Amino acid sequence: MSGPLRSAAILGGVILATLAVYLLVFDQVLMPYVVDVGKVHVPKLEGLTVEQARRQLRQRELRLGIRDSVNHATLAAGLIVDQTPAEKQLVKKGRRVSVDISLGSRLYSVPAVTGGSPRDARLKLESSHLRLGDLAYLSSDRFPEGAVILQQPKAGTRLPLGGRVDLKISSGPASQPKRVPDLRGLRIDAVEDSLRKYEMVMGQIQEQVDNGVPAGTVLSQSVAPPRRALRGTPIDLVLSVQQAAADSSAQPEGSASPTEE
């Protein structure tokens, strides 16, 4: 390489090295003084409304950005579901915090289940991410015994995940004997509702001492499954009552006291 070219190459290398050192010094030493941007911790935004989140971020000189809208099982529509950067992360002031907004629970359409059996209704509801609710029986000349007559809510209604659908089941014609619920073991406060669901009514109530079960528990009933009864039949019950234990310290009246010495 000739002398002039070698000199030019050396000069170029020196210039590049000098420029690299200058840029490093400028970035590490001078820039912090030229642009002094402080840092803050990101607040927790989950569960807040957009306006509440915007106010909290503004207090820390941060900005809010809406990233997406998503369904959420527990957070109501309009509340913040997720955020980036995460809570407590240290960021420079002026940073944008992106959030996802809840659309509320995803809703599922209630299928039509009338005319089929309760088992078919349960399978249809489960495939729609819903649940079978309360069953009640109703006399019907139109629908055969065991067929679903009515559903509540009606088909097409939209419910959240796991929503319950109550059914009315045909018990056959009004003159036909009806199934009787098994009330044994139930507490008295649940009996009347069970009888009503089977088109029966409460009959007479007797009591029987039984310390083995809680007071007010049904011990027996006048008509029990698998027997049937006509619609509106009163069902008599025997309920448990508790008998207090005798006071061992008490002595029968007139008994002799221990002999004193």
Q: Provide the pLDDT for residue 229.
A: 97
Q: What pLDDT is attached to residue 68?
A: 95
4 phi and psi, to 5 degrees? -65, -40
Which helix (DSSP H) or strand (DSSP E) does residue 121 occupy? helix 118-127
Q: Are 240 and 215 in contact (CB under 8 A)?
A: yes
**All structural domains of the chain:** 39-102 (3.30.10.20), 107-170 (3.30.10.20), 178-241 (3.30.10.20)
**Close Cβ partners of 212 (under 8 Å, ≥ 6 residues apart):** none
Encoded amino acid at 107, one letter: L
**Which residues does 67 contact at the CB level (< 8 Å), separation at least 6?**
84, 98, 99, 100
pLDDT in the model for residue 154: 97
How far, in Å, are 21, 27, 92 from residue 31 at the CA level? 14, 5, 15
Print the SS3 string covering 176-194: CCEECCCCCCCEHHHHHHH
Global pTM value: 0.64
Look up residue 146 and give its amino acid: G
Give the pLDDT confidence score for residue 18 in this predicted structure: 75
Per-residue pLDDT of the chain (261 residues; tens, 9 = 90+): 566 666 666 666 667 767 766 665 555 555 544 555 699 999 999 999 999 999 999 999 999 999 999 999 889 999 999 999 999 999 999 999 999 999 998 999 999 999 999 999 999 999 999 999 999 999 999 999 999 999 999 999 999 989 999 999 999 999 999 999 999 999 999 999 999 999 999 999 999 999 999 999 999 999 999 999 999 999 999 999 998 765 444 445 544 444 443
Q: Which amino acid is at 17?
A: A
**Cα separation values, 62 from 28, 89, 101, 142, 252, Å:** 25, 12, 18, 67, 85
Instruction: Give the tokens for residue 131.
Output: 């649940």
Integer Cα distance of 48 and 83 in angstroms: 11
The predicted structure's pLDDT at residue 40? 95
pLDDT at 59: 95
